[in-house]
Structures are given as structure tokens and as C-alpha cells.
Amino acid sequence: MAPLLGLLAPAFEADRAILSLASRYLADSLIVIGGAGGLAILIGVGAAWAIAMTEFPLRRWFGAMMILPLALPGYVAAYVWADVLAPSGPIRGLVLQIAPQSTILQVSGPTGPWAVGIVLGLVLYPYVYLPARAAFEAQAANSLEAARSLGASPWAAFALVGAPMALPAILAGAALVMMEAAADYGASVHLGAQTLSVGLFRAWFGAGDVAIGAKIGLCLAGLAGLLLWIEVIARRRADRLGFSRNERPAARYKLSNTAAFLTICMLFVCLFMSFLAPVGRLLYLAISYRIDFSELFFLSSNTFALGATGAALCILLALCFIFGAQAGANIARWGAPIAGLAYAMPGAVLGLGASLALAGLGASSLGAIGFLALFWAYAARFTQTGLGPMRAALARAGQGYSASAASLGAKPLRRFFQIEGRFFLPGALIGALFAFIEIAKELPATFALRPFGFDSLAVRIHNYAADERLGQAAAPALALVLLSLAPAFWVARQIERDRS
């Protein structure tokens, strides 16, 4: 929490004029958050119901592929769609070839908060899809079969039974989407949305006014805290509504040929818009422009080093919290809620807070101190990504083995590593992969805190896109997607294996 505390003192130095400025930033932020959350719910819940509760060709293939947008950063998707839909882009060129008299050139490209919300909703819907699918698959057969006996169609059963019972899980996933949308910087600044994150960077780097930046940062932190509260309440309700493993799962609806065809078409359109089209455009641009392989290797190495080191640090801190909680340490019990709150904080807020905290200690953010501040921000924000899967794995294992070992006189440290470690190791691996993906894609904190001359893939992509050089950004963007794709594929395979 130290980065957040670092914002408090400068925030009180800002004058009251910042309130009107922050209100304008807040309005655009709310539009981005609402647009991303609404679209993610629409895509994620529809896809989850179709894959979990209906039977159609390619169902299992779509079940695994629908999480692929997790590997595509929202700011990269924004850069690509802005290029594709620009007045000189390929879509308008194709339309003008077909209809030369078309007035399509009079329409501007995608800009503003609604465009940002739509783009982020397309790539963030897996945060809703995964918990919604798990909730649908956990529903007992008797509830849905009662609806079937009354002649309800698959979609009527969804509206009357499935969706209300899965609502807490859906809201928890939607809150995560809105937290990510509130934290976005790259997509918002590229598409011209005046969000709180953009305002923070303009005050911090553009005007050099740390006091105004701190005030905006606290507004952003308050918004993130509200979304976190919604997510925690919804997740607790989802846990209370959980179904016993002993209950018989519901049989899937067998779709007619027409319904199956329409379902496949809708799922493919969602996957195409959210992942296949942006990656395909990047591949085309990368082939069309000369690739500097030495630069690509340098940036990829930097990104891998940041991701691997940051993920290891997050897992180490998560282990300390879990072991401390098992041993009865009060500070560890408070650590998990604090880690959850820090995860909700945008990278821009943590970056500014860490920089101000170091400045207060008389340290500069150059050289090794810059890396210290950067990993400090990573650990603060992404420890929760390792803590969550590890705690879930321990909860599934129960306390029986550990209690038996304790009765035989085994010390807490020995029980933790020799007995409980076997259960939380898969959760630790999944958590490390998720932390690696998030750190590799992270832009605001990395952009703000990296030492001079040290660039990651995310930072270089942003710099190229800011200079309207998407062709040069294509190869680094593809490399970033590939770095994130392998862990995402592994997680998707583990999920499908568990469900089968």
C-alpha cells in the first residue's frame, strides 16, 4: 500500500480547480467502463451459455479458443482497429472499390470513450466468460429440467433459470473487466478518450504537476476500490450459491441444425473481432515491413526478464501470505485483503505512488532504483494473481492431511512445504503464468518507471503507435501476443482437461 500512500501528501497541495478537470476525466472513464463491461457481459455470458449448456459441432474447440483474447493487450487491439477503420485503412478502401460514390470517407475513424469501451470489451470478455461458464456448468439438473418440462427453449431456460442463478459470478467477472478498463491508458490515449488515467499522465509528464496528478490518481483509486467492493460482494454471493459436486449436472440441449449453424457463426464473429482479425492485421503488417530482428530479440528478452522476475516475486509474496496465514500470523491475514485492493489499483496510480514514495525517501528513479520501483509496483498489483489460484487449490484439498501431520508433531514449515505444497503447486504455476501474462502486457507502470534506455515490448509498441508507425509496431506486437499466448493455451488446456 506504500505506493498509494505516497499520493496523499501531494494531493492536498492541488487547488480546487482540479475538481472540474477531474469530473470531465471521470465522465469519459465511466463511459469506457460501462461500454467495456456491457459488451463483455453480452459476449461472455452468451458464449458461456452456448458452450456450457448446448451441444453443437466444434463446441469443445470454441470452448478453448474463446479465452485467446486474454493474450491480446487492449491497447494493441485499439491500435489495430484504429488503423483498419481509418479513412485510409483497408476497410474503407474495399468499400470504395465496390461503391466509388460512397460517402464513407466523410465518417471519421473510431475515436472517443465509446470506441475505447467497445475495443476493451472485445478483448476483456474472457473475464466474464470463464466464471459464467463455470457457474452454468455447476448448476444442478433439477432446476433446468423443471424449465424444460414446462416447454422452455434453451434461451428461455437461460433467461428464466440459468442467468439469475449465475448472476453473482457474472457480476464478479464484469467488475474485473471494469477494473481493467478503468486502468487502461494505451487504448484511451490513442483513441482520444479523456479518462482519469490519461489525465494522470498528462499532469505528471506533460505539465509536471505532481499535485494534480496525485489528486487524479486518488480519484482513480477510489473508483477502482468501488469496483473491487462490487467484485468481492458478487464473488461471495457466488460462493454461497455454489452447487455440490454430488449433484447431477444438467444435460446439454441438442441444437437443431439451423440453431447450431447460427451459434457457430456468432461465436466465430466474436472470436474474429476480438482476436483473429487484429492478429491477422498485425501479421500482414509485419510481413509488409522490414523486421529488425536484433531489436525484436532485445525487446523480447527485456519483456521476458521483467515478466519472469515479476511473476517469481509475486509468487514468493503469495507464499509468504499463505504460510503466514496457516501459521496464524495476523499480518498475513491482513495481507490477502490488501493484495486484493492493490490488484484493483491501476498501474498509473501505483507508478506515480511508487515514484513519489521513493522521492520522499530521497531516492531517484534512475538505474537500479528504477527497477526497484518497477518491481515494487508489479508486486503490489499482481501478487493477487498468484494468491487466488493457490488459495483455491488449498481449499479444494481441505485441511485433513495437514491436521493429521500436525497431530504427529510436524512443524508448520514442514507441513507447509511437504504436504500442502503438493496441493498448491499447480495453483502456484497457474498463478505465475497469469502474473507473467499481466506483467508482459502492462503498460502504464512500465512506461512511467522504467530506467532510461530500457524498453519492453509494450513500451516500444506504444511509442511506435504514438508516432503513427503501426507497421514498425506490428512485429513487437506479435511477439508480445506470442509471449502471452503460450501460457494462455496451457491454461485453456488445463481448464478443458479438468472439465472433461
Q: Using one digit for the tens of pLDDT, what is the confidence trace for 227-239?
A: 778 777 876 776 6
CATH class of 1-285: mainly alpha
Cα–Cα distances in angstroms (integers) from residue 217 to residues 209, 220, 371, 375, in the given order? 12, 5, 22, 19
- Backbone dihedral region for residue 193 (phi beyond 0: left; psi -120 to 50: alpha; all else: beta): beta
Distances (CA, A) of 422 to 70, 258, 313, 395: 28, 48, 20, 13
Q: State the virtual CA torsion across 158, 164, 165, 171 in degrees, nearest 10.
A: 110
Q: How is 119-174 classified by DSSP, letter by letter?
A: HHHHHHTHHHHHHHHHHHHHSBHHHHHHHHHTT--HHHHIIIIIHHHHHHHHHHHH
> What is the distance between the alpha carbons of residues 134 and 127, in angstroms, rounded to a whole number?
12
State the CB neighbour count (10 A cutoff) for residue 197.
Answer: 29
Which of 358, 379, 288 lies closest to 90, judged by CA?
Answer: 288
**Residue 186 Rama label (left phi>0; alpha psi -120 to 50; beta):** alpha
Confidence of residue 368 (pLDDT cuts 50, 70, 90): low
- Residue 108's pLDDT is what? 66
With beta carbons less than 8 A apart as the criterion, state whether 184 and 75 touch: yes
C-beta of residue 74 within 8 angstroms of C-beta of residue 123: yes
Interior/surface letters 262-278, b for 16+ CB within 10 angstroms, e for the rest: ebbeebeebbebbbebb
Cα-atom radius of gyration of the chain, to the nearest Å? Answer: 24
**In whole angstroms, what is the distance from residue 471 CA to residue 63 CA?**
32
Q: Yes or no: say if 70 and 437 are a contact pair by the CB < 8 Å rule.
A: yes
For residue 254, what is its C-alpha cell? 441438442
Bigger pLDDT: 464 or 387?
Answer: 464
More confident residue, 1 or 171: 171
pLDDT tens digit sequence for 374-420 = 888 888 888 877 776 766 666 655 555 555 555 545 555 556 655 66
Instruction: Determine the pLDDT at residue 148.
Output: 64
> What span, in angstroms and rounded, lies between the C-alpha atoms of 191 and 22?
19
Q: Which tens digits make up the pLDDT trace of 323-349?
A: 776 666 666 566 666 766 777 777 767
Cβ within 8 Å of residue 179, ≥6 positions away: 224, 227, 228, 231, 344
- 1-285 and 289-500 in the same fold: yes
Burial per residue of 82-101, b for 16 or more beta-carbon CB atoms within 10 angstroms, e otherwise: bbbbbeeeeebeeeeeeeee
Straight-line distance from the first to the last Cα atom of the chain, in angstroms, rounded to the nearest whole number: 41
Return the higher-pLDDT residue of 29 and 328. 29
The pLDDT value recorded for residue 394 is 61
Q: Which residues contact 497 (CB under 8 A, 6 or more apart)?
A: none
Task: For the beta carbon of residue 36, count every other beta carbon within 10 angstroms.
Answer: 31
Residue 55 carries which DSSP code?
A: E
Mean pLDDT for all residues in the chain: 77
Is a pLDDT exceeding 50 seen at residue 244? no
pLDDT band per the 50, 70, 90 thresholds, residue 117:
very high
Within 8 A by CB and 6+ apart from 442, the residues are: 347, 378, 381, 458
| Residue 297 CA from chain centroid, whole number | 26
Q: For the residues 58-86, what does the mean pLDDT come to?
A: 90
Topology of the domain covering 289-500: MetI-like fold (1.10.3720)
Evaluate whether 45 touches 157 at the Cβ level (below 8 Å).
Answer: no
The full set of domain ranges for the chain reads 1-285, 289-500
Q: Which three cell numbers stand for residue 208?
A: 509536471
User: How far is the C-alpha of 372 from the C-alpha of 357, rounded, in Å?
Assistant: 12
